[in-house]
Structure formats: C-alpha cells, structure tokens
Amino acid sequence: MGVSRQKIFNENDSYEVKKEKFMSVTNHSDKSLSNKQGQEYMSDPNTIKFTDTLINRAFNSGGRPMAFKSVETLESDIREFLQLCYDTSTIPTVSSAGMWLGCDRDTIYNHANNSNSPFFGTCKKLIDVCQVAMENGAIKGKVNAVLYMFLGKNYFGLKDDKNIQISAQQGSNINTQETADALRKQIEEETVPNADVKID
C-alpha cells in the first residue's frame, strides 16, 4: 500500500500562486499543531522571511535542479542558506537545504554516502550541521525531544542500542536456575528502563 502524493503546483503557476499554495498546505497539513498554533507559526515574521526566501530561490531557478558546479560553489551556497537560517532563527534541515540548492534531500544524502563523490565531505558536513542544530534545539528545549528522536533515527542514523555481552567462565556450569536468575538480574540492572529488552 503506497502513499499517493497530491500534485500541489502546476508548471504554469506564477511564483505568487506557488507561494500561496505552499503556505496554505503547510498551514493545514500538520495535525499536531492546532489551527491557532499553525497560524501563529506561519504568521511569524521569521517564518515568513525564511519561507519567502526559500520558495523564491527554489521556484525561480527555471524549474530544473542546479548542478553543483564545484565544491567551492556548493560550500558558498550552503553558507548563504545557513546565514538565512541564522537570520530568521530557523533550524536548518536537509530538506530545506535541498530546496535552497535546487535538489532534493536524497541528492544530498547520495553524495554524503558516496565517498567517491567530489561533494562527499561538503554534503556530510551539511547533514552534520543540520543534526547539531536539531540536537542543540532539543537539549535547550526548543525542539520537541520526541521529534528529535524521530528525525535522529530516520535522517541522521541514530539508534537505540545496548550491547550486552554475557560469557561463561571456563569450567563453570551455567545450566542451573541460580545462574539464570543471576543473569536475569544483571541484565535488568544494566538495561535502561523502557529499552526494547525481553527477559524470558
């Protein structure tokens, strides 16, 4: 069962029409925000400036993705994007960076995961900057912790892992109930509460 995406923009839409459609979809698509919160967010001057600048750049580039001409050009474009984020107090994301650069986030991830790409290091740094900004926002309480965990796991490769190694000493008998109870107790003491560990 796939997810179908509704086409929002038509090729012949003007910039103003595209902007209006984007703003209306963004304002009503997030069910986690009340309508009042969504309206407050979308009417914030920094949100308006960021969104307006991003849409203007993304949709006034002739409709085709910009090629990364060189590492230096890409780094310069990323600096402009990060400055816009700073000026508007907006947390940078890989998706919004992709819009700024004239590509999608998959292109950025593809370069970051291909050590043979000339843009490997630059794209990797961009992803790291987005992660650090999100991480610091979560630490300071500006980004919802659950949202950060979701983004961290799905976009930044973070995991909930706890490796527990249990080994028997040579010559010991681990088939007794006493040994099993001791191991069960050790695992419970070393395991973080709510971790995905079952003890049978």
Entry pTM:
0.59
pLDDT digits (tens, 9 = 90+) for 19-30: 666 655 544 444
User: How do the domains of the chain map onto residue ranges?
Assistant: 44-155, 161-200
What average pLDDT does range 119-128 have in this prediction? 93
User: What count of residues does the chain have?
Assistant: 200
What pLDDT shows up at residue 127? 93
Distance CA 100, CA 150 (A): 23
Q: What is the pLDDT of residue 30?
A: 44
122 has pLDDT over 80: yes
Q: What is the pLDDT of residue 183?
A: 74
Average pLDDT score over residue span 30-58:
70
Specify which of 10-14, 71-75, 156-160 reaches the highest per-range mean pLDDT: 71-75
What pLDDT is recorded for position 6?
A: 47
Which range is least confidently modeled, 40-44, 93-97, 112-116, 145-149? 40-44
At residue 140, the pLDDT reads 86
Residue type (1 letter), 152? G
Residue 192's pLDDT band, with cuts at 50, 70 and 90, is low
Between 103 and 183, the more confident residue is 103
Q: Does the pLDDT of residue 2 top 60, yes or no?
A: no
